[in-house]
Chain A
Amino acid sequence: MNTVIRIQNLTKYYGKHRGVLNLNLEVKKGEIYGFIGPNGAGKSTAIRTMLGLLKPSSGKTEILGMDTVSNKTEILKRVGYMPSEAAFYSSMRVKDVIAFSADLYGRDCREEAGKLCERLKLDTKKKVEELSLGNKKKVSIVCAFQHGADLYVLDEPTSGLDPLMQKEFFSLVKERNQAGAAVFLSSHILSEVQKYCHRAAIIREGRLVKEDEVANICRASAKRVTVQGITEISGIEAADIQMLENGISFLYRGEIRPLLEKLSELSIEDLTITEPGLEETFLHFYEGGKRA
Chain B
Amino acid sequence: MTIAKMEIKRNIKSLLIWSAVIGGMIMLCLLLFPQLKKEVDSLEEALKNMGGLTSAFGMDRLNYGEIMGFYGIYGGSMLGIGGMFYSAILGTGMLAREEQEHTAEFLLTHPVSRERILFQKLGAMVFLLVLMNGIVILFSCTSFVMIGEEPDWKIFWIYHGAQLLMQAEILGVCCGISAFIRRGSISLGIGVAALLYFLGLFKNIAEKADAVKYITPYAYGDAAEIISEGGLDGKLAILGIAYGFAGVAVGLWHYRRKDIL
- If the complex has contacts A53-B259, A54-B260, A100-B2, are A88 and B103 also in contact, measured as CB distance less than 8 A? yes
A97-119 residues with Cβ-Cβ distance < 8 A to B are 100-101, 103-106
Chain B residue, CB-CB nearest to A104:
B110
How far apart sit A76 and B102, CA to CA, in the bound complex (Å)?
Answer: 19
Q: Is B209 an interface position by the 8 A CB rule?
A: no
Query: Is B109 an interface position by the 8 A CB rule?
Result: yes
Alpha-carbon distance A101/B260, docked complex (angstroms): 19
Taking the nearest CB of chain B, how far is it from the CB of A186, in angstroms? 14
- Counting chain B residues whose Cβ lies within 8 A of the other chain, the interface size class is 20 to 34
Given contacts A72-B113, A104-B2, contact A55 B259 (CB under 8 A): yes
Bound complex: CA A87 to CA B6 (Å) = 16
Interface check A83, CB cutoff 8 A: yes
A53 touches B110 (CB 8 A): no
Q: Is A104 touching B112 in the complex (CB atoms < 8 A)?
A: yes
User: Which residues of A from 6 to 60 have beta carbons under 8 Å from B?
Assistant: 14, 48, 51-55
Residues of chain B within 8 A of A87, CB atoms compared: 101-103, 105-106
Whether a CB of chain B sits under 8 angstroms from the CB of A274 is no
For B2, B6, B110, the residue with the greatest tally of chain A CB atoms inside 10 Å of its CB is B110
Q: Is the CB of A105 within 8 A of B110?
A: yes
Residues on the B chain within 8 Å of A72, using CB? 113
Contact B106 A83 (CB under 8 A): yes
Using known A-B contacts A73-B111, A87-B101, determine if residue A54 contacts B259 with beta carbons closer than 8 Å: yes
Q: List the B side residues contacting A106 at CB < 8 Å.
A: 111
Partner of B101, one of A81, A83, A90, A103: A90
Q: Are A53 and B103 in contact (CB under 8 A)?
A: no
Distance from B181 Cβ to chain A, minimum over Cβ atoms (Å): 17
Do B257 and A83 have beta carbons less than 8 Å apart?
no
Contact of A89 among B103, B112, B260 (CB under 8 A): B103
Q: Which residue from A83, A85, A88, A90 sits with its C-beta under 8 Å from B109? A: A83
Q: Are A101 and B110 in contact (CB under 8 A)?
A: yes
Residues of chain B with a CB closer than 8 A to A54's CB: 259-261
A73 touches B112 (CB 8 A): yes
In the bound complex, CA of A187 to CA of B203 (Å): 61
Separation of A85 and B107 alpha carbons in the complex (Å): 14
Q: Report the tally of A-B residue pairs with Cβ distances under 8 A.
A: 65
Bound Cα distance A105, B261 (Å): 22
Chain A residues within an 8 Å CB radius of B109: 51, 53, 76, 79, 81, 83
Contact status of A89 and B10, CB under 8 A, knowing A54-B259, A100-B2: yes
A243 within 8 A of B: no
Is B108 an interface residue, CB under 8 A from the partner? yes
Residues in A with CB closer than 8 Å to B108 are 51-53
Contact among A48, A53, A81, A85 with B102 in the assembled complex (CB-CB below 8 Å):
A85
* CB-nearest residue of chain A to B108: A53
Residues of B within 8 A of A55 (CB): 257, 259
> In the assembled complex, which residues on chain A have CB atoms less than 8 Å from the CB atom of B6?
89, 100
- Please name all residues of chain B whose beta carbon is closer than 8 Å to the beta carbon of A104 when the two chains form the complex: 2-3, 107, 110-112
Could you tell me the distance between the alpha carbons of A91 and B113 in the complex, rounded to whole angstroms? 24
Q: Does A237 contact B (CB under 8 A)?
A: no
Instruction: Tell me the B63-121 residues at the A interface (CB within 8 Å).
Output: 101-113
Find out whether the CB atom of A88 lies under 8 angstroms from the CB atom of B106.
Answer: yes
**Which residue of A has the minimal Cβ distance to B116?**
A73
Q: Tell me if A239 counts as interface (CB < 8 A to partner B).
A: no
Instruction: Report how far A85 CA is from B108 CA in the complex, Å.
Output: 15
Residue from the set B2, B10, B106, B257 with the largest chain A CB neighbour count within 10 Å:
B106
Assembly CA distance A143 to B105 (angstroms)? 13
Nearest CB of B to A228, in Å: 52
**Separation of A89 and B10 alpha carbons in the complex (Å):** 9
Contact B110 A76 (CB under 8 A): yes
Q: A54-B260, A55-B257 are in contact. Are A83 and B105 (CB under 8 A)?
A: yes
**Closest chain B residue, CB of each to CB of A84:** B105
Q: Tell me if A77 is interfacial: C-beta within 8 Å of chain B.
A: yes
For A92, the chain B residues whose CB sits under 8 A away are: 10
- The chain B residue with its CB closest to the CB of A79 is B109
On whether the beta carbons of A91 and B10 are closer than 8 Å, the reply is: yes
Judging by beta carbons under 8 Å apart, are A105 and B259 in contact? Answer: no
Distance in angstroms between the alpha carbons of A60 and B103 in the assembled complex: 26
User: Bound complex: CA of A103 vs CA of B111, how far in Å?
Assistant: 10
Given contacts A86-B106, A103-B2, A105-B110, 13 further A-B pairs with CB under 8 A are A14-B261, A51-B109, A53-B108, A54-B259, A55-B257, A74-B111, A76-B112, A79-B109, A85-B102, A87-B102, A89-B103, A92-B10, A104-B112
A-B contact pairs, 6 of them (CB 8 A): A76-B110, A76-B112, A81-B109, A83-B105, A85-B102, A105-B110
> Which 8 pairs across A and B sit closest by C-beta, in order of nearness?
A87-B102, A104-B110, A76-B111, A77-B111, A103-B2, A53-B260, A81-B109, A54-B259
